[in-house]
Amino acid sequence: MKLITIAFASIILILIAPSALANGLEITEVDVHVNYDDAFTYRVENRDRKNSGTLSMSNGSKIDVDVLPGSTVTFTIRVENTFEGDKTDLRGVFATVTIKDIDDDSDLDKESVDFDLEPGNDYRFDVEFKIPIDVDSGTYDVVIEAEGDDRNGTSYKAELNQKLEVKKQSHDIRITQVLLTPSVLDCSRKAKLTAEIVNAGSNQENQVSLEFKSANFGINSFDRDISLQSSDEASDEEKTFAKSLNIEVPSFFSAGTYPILVNLYWKNFILFDQKKVDLIVKDCIAGTAQTQMNEQEPKSEIEADEESVETIPAEEVGLENEQITATEEISIFSSPLILLIFAGGFAILILIVLIFFGYLRLKKAIEY
């Protein structure tokens, strides 16, 4: 009889324990939203994706949204003080969201700001993650934790464990970086444009084209049949490609803001991604020109030794270990349209001179 009583009491404790432990700090709701705007093809293609949902509050549940490489995942979390009465305020409450091993076997984690909760009150906040483009497809553990103290210093914690699946498309090529240096020209009229592309899809790509284009500057640089290995199997250098282009703008070119397009094509003609950068051209002021000339004068050996020179490592601009095509020199004078205009103008000038001299000869003949 005693054993039956102990067993019955144990069952009662097990049943009531969750409700007893629930009083205090709780994660009561989590919504997830996925944004794909960083990729051009994701924005324009007509495909039905599940980009939002509400999480189950049971541990081990799968987060039912479509997460792709490079997408932005936002967790909207509601934390509540479930105590009753007016004596159990929770102070310095904060939450942490961790996605395990998703960034090259490293965690991604974000922490919310601190906040206070009175009994019965809740607080909602967003935690945003940028999924790496070179992420491996698979399922990753997500841990959502909340923690806070009452007036007596007693700590309260809540934790929710979920599963996040990252999927890859068969064909997914991206422009990951466009760098224009400098982006503002005045007396010096030279700039350098660099772009990096990557294969984020599961298939190997052999007909990828990268284009630099500007009607204003007469730029039309087109590289075709670029090969990028599958992102599931290749090293960084095998699935990426980078190209640099030197741009020279004539001194007489009008001041203004001029767009330059960087286009990425699949099968050499289907637009898969596009980025735009603005090159700002300013008028050259005499004082500025003199200052730049002085800066370009050679320094003495002592001055050169004392000068601190800052270099930017390749990995900081995202160009480490990538293939880079032979750098091209682009000048406005190299544009066929500009040359045609100059040739036409010269021909018109010659024609005017011939007509003028013909008129003079005809006038003399009439006078005689």
The pLDDT assigned to 336 comes to 54
> 98-112, 172-186, 229-243: lowest mean pLDDT where?
229-243
The pLDDT assigned to 183 comes to 96
pLDDT band at 362 (very low <50, low <70, confident <90, very high): low
Residues 110 and 156: their CA atoms lie apart, in Å, by: 20
Judged against a pLDDT cut of 90, whether residue 211 lies above it is answered with: yes
The pLDDT assigned to 192 comes to 97
pLDDT band at 350 (very low <50, low <70, confident <90, very high): confident
Amino acid making up residue 83:
F
User: 240-248 and 328-331: which strand pairing?
Assistant: parallel
The pLDDT assigned to 145 comes to 96
E strands along the chain, which residues?
25-35, 52-54, 61-62, 72-81, 90-103, 106-111, 115-117, 122-130, 138-149, 155-166, 173-181, 184-185, 190-199, 205-214, 219-228, 240-248, 256-266, 270-281, 323-324, 328-331
CA separation, residue 145 to residues 53, 140, 148, 313 (Å): 19, 16, 11, 37
Judged against a pLDDT cut of 60, whether residue 15 lies above it is answered with: no
| Residue 322 token pair | 């990538």
Residue 112 bridge partners (DSSP) = none
> 10-19, 77-86, 134-143: lowest mean pLDDT where?
10-19
Residues 174 and 133: their CA atoms lie apart, in Å, by: 9
Quick one: average pLDDT of 340-368?
69
- Side-chain half-sphere CA neighbours of 163 within 13 A: 9
> 40-54, 202-216, 281-295: lowest mean pLDDT where?
281-295
Q: Which of residues 125 and 308 earns the better pLDDT score?
A: 125
Residues 40 and 261: their CA atoms lie apart, in Å, by: 13
Residues 68 and 200: their CA atoms lie apart, in Å, by: 9
The pLDDT assigned to 315 comes to 38
Taking every pair of Cα atoms in the chain, the longest distance, rounded to a whole number of angstroms, is 149
The number of residues making up the chain comes to 368
| Residue 76 token pair | 């909207």
The pLDDT assigned to 342 comes to 57
CA quadruple 136, 137, 139, 145: dihedral sign: positive
pLDDT tens readout for residues 19-56: 334 468 999 999 999 998 766 666 666 567 888 999 98
Quick one: average pLDDT of 114-129?
92
pLDDT band at 318 (very low <50, low <70, confident <90, very high): very low
The pLDDT assigned to 320 comes to 39
Judged against a pLDDT cut of 90, whether residue 346 lies above it is answered with: no
Most confident of the ranges 193-207, 227-241, 328-342: 193-207
> 146-150, 316-320, 344-348, 363-367: lowest mean pLDDT where?
316-320
Going from the N-terminus, what domains does the chain have, and what CATH number goes with each?
Answer: 21-166 (2.60.40.10), 173-292+315-334 (2.60.40.10)
Sequence-ordered list of residues with C-beta below 8 angstroms from that of 338, at least 6 positions apart, any chain: 218, 332
Angle at Cα 120 formed by Cα 144 and Cα 18, nearest 5°? 55
Residues 354 and 362: their CA atoms lie apart, in Å, by: 12
Q: Is 86 left (phi over 0), alpha (psi -120 to 50) or beta?
A: alpha
- Side-chain half-sphere CA neighbours of 177 within 13 A: 20
Query: What radius of gyration do the chain's Cα atoms show?
Result: 33
The pLDDT assigned to 88 comes to 84
DSSP per residue over 52-121, as a string? Answer: EEE--SSTTEE--S-B-TT-EEEEEEEEEE---SSS--EEEEEEEEEEEEEETTEEEEEEPPPEEE-TT-
pLDDT tens readout for residues 174-201: 999 999 999 999 999 999 999 999 999 9
User: 25-35 and 190-199: which strand pairing?
Assistant: unpaired
The verdict on pTM exceeding 0.75 is no
pLDDT band at 156 (very low <50, low <70, confident <90, very high): very high
